[in-house]
Amino acid sequence: MKTKSIAIAATVGTFAVAALLFALPAIAVTSARQNSDIQQSQSGTTQEARLSVGQTLTLTSVAGGYREIGTSVNGTAAASLTFRVTGAFTGGYALSMTGVTITVNGTAYVISSGSAELGRYGVRMAGQGQAGSAQFLFASRDLGGFGSSNFGVLRVDLTSVSQEFGLRLLVTVHK
């Protein structure tokens, strides 16, 4: 009985050591990649957005869709958002919306007011806006350039009267 317990413990221990040996290279690569990203942003090699007050940014969808929250209804969606830089700070930028249209299943919502914040490196933006009784929150992330275009992902949570929509759009970013 004692020999059987020792054999089982030795087998389990052997498998645990083998699993650890296979996992260590993957952990080391992931850790090195994260440390490299942190060092790059701390060393200043990541390029700052360098925007100026009065400059405009435009996000225009090239593809996307929506899902009505609480139902299984979904379909196509589009958006065009234009912002003006109203403040430039060490940690990022303050933006105001100058022209925003969000189209959900053929219904266009023209946003009358709103604001956003953009990070120092121009990678992440978040904000909110209003169009009559419709309100929305959004977040975007810059994916970088491909060819002569710069792309991003825009996520929008839009509420209008008794409906709420979740949108996810691929956008081009123009500065």
Over residues 80-133, the pLDDT tens digits come to 999 999 999 999 999 999 989 999 999 999 988 999 999 999 899 999 999 888
Q: In total, how many domains does the chain have?
A: 2
Q: Are residues 126 and 170 in the same domain?
A: yes
Q: Between the CA atoms of 123, 96, 56 and 156, what dihedral angle is there, to the nearest 10 degrees?
A: 50
pLDDT per position as a tens digit, 19-55: 444 444 544 444 444 444 444 444 445 678 889 999 9
User: Can you read off the two tokens belonging to residue 11?
Assistant: 């087998």
Residue 51 falls inside a structural domain: no
Q: In this structure, are residues 105 and 133 in contact, taking their beta carbons and an 8 Å threshold?
A: no
Enter the pTM of the model: 0.71
Domain boundary among 12, 28, 46: 46
- In this structure, are 91 and 164 located in the same domain? yes
* Domain co-membership, 113 together with 133: yes
Q: 82 exposed, middle or buried (CB, 10 Å; 0-12, 13-18, 19+)?
A: middle
Task: Give the residue numbers spanning the domain of 1.
Answer: 1-46
* Cα 19-24-28 angle, rounded to 5 deg: 160
Residue 104 region by backbone torsions, left for phi larger than 0, else alpha for psi between -120 and 50, else beta: beta
Residue 97 forms part of a structural domain = yes
Per-residue pLDDT band for 175 (boundaries 50, 70, 90) equals: confident
At 54, phi and psi to the nearest 5?
Answer: 100, -20
Q: Say if residue 66 is in the same domain as residue 38.
A: no
Measured between alpha carbons, how far is 101 from 60 in angstroms, rounded to an integer? 10
Q: Please choose, from the candidates 61, 65, 77, the residue with its C-alpha nearest in 3D space to the C-alpha of residue 152.
A: 61
Q: What is the CA radius of gyration of the chain?
A: 24
Residues 93 and 29 reside in one and the same domain:
no
pLDDT of residue 48: 83
Q: Which residue has the higher pLDDT, 79 or 133?
A: 79
Asked if pLDDT for residue 153 goes beyond 80, the answer is yes
CA distance 130 to 15: 58
Residues 32 and 70 in one domain: no
